[in-house]
Each structure stands twice: as structure tokens, then as C-alpha cells.
Structure 1
């Protein structure tokens, strides 16, 4: 998918199926030093950087949500075709990112930006943001690295 193009997909939520419009907005690339600061074993991230994918999710149809959403669970980040390593809990603090677990009320027409942080090789030429419905083929947005 091209930058700025959105995908539409359904997610089984509690209390029912919701159709979302999904747009990968950007990927913020960090430095090796930043990656080393946020992991417990800095030696494991030598030559690697953080990639923070910003995705905008818009509730298009279905019931209003009252207890969070699972829409972000379908997101992964790839570098040069290889899946990165997810860094749990890192993106809630990133600028412009919301914590999906803080979104208790979500009605049709409303949008939220959730982020996913992955560790990828510093020398990757391209970064792909993937989002898929459960058991579905992923939509893929490509971003240049650097």
C-alpha cells in the first residue's frame, strides 16, 4: 500500500465485530544508543535501532467499545522483509501515541493513534508496517529507512 492509503478490516471485539479503517502514518527511527537504554540486555541490540510505527485506527461501524480494543494486536513491523522483535510497553510513552488500554470508550467515527515499537537492524533499507485481521493476509505499508 502506498503512504497515505488506508485499509479496512474487521476485528472481533467485545461486544461485537467492529470495522476499522487503518492507516500507517509513519515510522520513527531511533538510534542504537536509544535502543540500548530501553532493553535489559544492551548487548543484544548492538547494530539495532528502535522503529516506532504510528497507526491511526478509525471506528467505522459496529458497536461502541466500552473496555478497550484489540485492533492493534494485528500490527507487526518488518525490516527488509524480516520481522522485527517487538518491544512490549515501549511505545506508550512515544510522542503522539495513545495507550490502547486507556481507551475505554470508542464510538463510530472516532479515531485513535496506537504505536508499536520494534527492534530492527540499523542498516535496514526499508521498513514495512503490517496490519492484518485475525487469520487474514496483512496490509503492508513501506517506509524508507533514513
Structure 2
């Protein structure tokens, strides 16, 4: 084989491998962001799809098994829709009352959500304080 032909075949293989890797890496990133209500009303519609949702943590529902490193809990939205979540992994540090939980994963026939990723955020942490110019003037002096 000529040198040019070998180079062309080598570049083609690298190109095809790159495309395959990109497609494989973006399948999870191409998930859908859904509300709890959408998931609970028609769980069969979203089976096999990577989805993301969020809700308020129901603290009484938390079950942590340190031996199996398994976390199960429930989240709810403002309309009272409740979703049971199971996560095979560590429990987030601030997993307590008044926390919004963001989960990413898959829904099953039985309505249980298997989370591959669990994140928390505290709503009060992101609320802004009103600006008081008088207080600011006092601090400067």
C-alpha cells in the first residue's frame, strides 16, 4: 500500500472513532427536563429516556443504607405531586429540610425514579436581600 492510502485509512478510523465517542457522550446530556406532574401522570411515556426534575425534599421519607451506599427519598412539588427516588451513591451533605433536590436519571414502570445524579440547593441561599442605602452609608463612615 502506498503511504497516502495508509494515511487516509488512519485518518478515517480516527474520524469515525471520534464521531462514535461524541454520540455516546451526548446521549445523557440530551435528556429532558420535566415537571413532577408530567412524570407522575404518564411515567410509561418517559421510560428509557434520561430525564431531569426537581422538587422539595420530604425529610421524613429519607432512608439511607450506608452498607449498600443506597439512598431513597421522596420529593414533591407545589401541587402535592410526590415522586419516590432511589439513588445508588453517597448522600449529599445538606440533605435536610427546606432543600430543593434536583435529580437526573430514569423512571420505571412502577413509578420509581432511579437517579444517577442527586444535587441539592437551599432556596434561602439564593434569595437576594433588599438594598438599604442608609445602612450602606453608615458602614462606609
**Which interval holds the TM-score relative to the shorter structure?**
under 0.3
Higher helix proportion, which one? 2
Larger Rg: 2
TM-score, normalised via structure 2 length: 0.26
Structure with more contact order per residue of length (Cα contacts < 8 Å, sep ≥ 6)? 1
TM-score, normalised via structure 1 length: 0.26
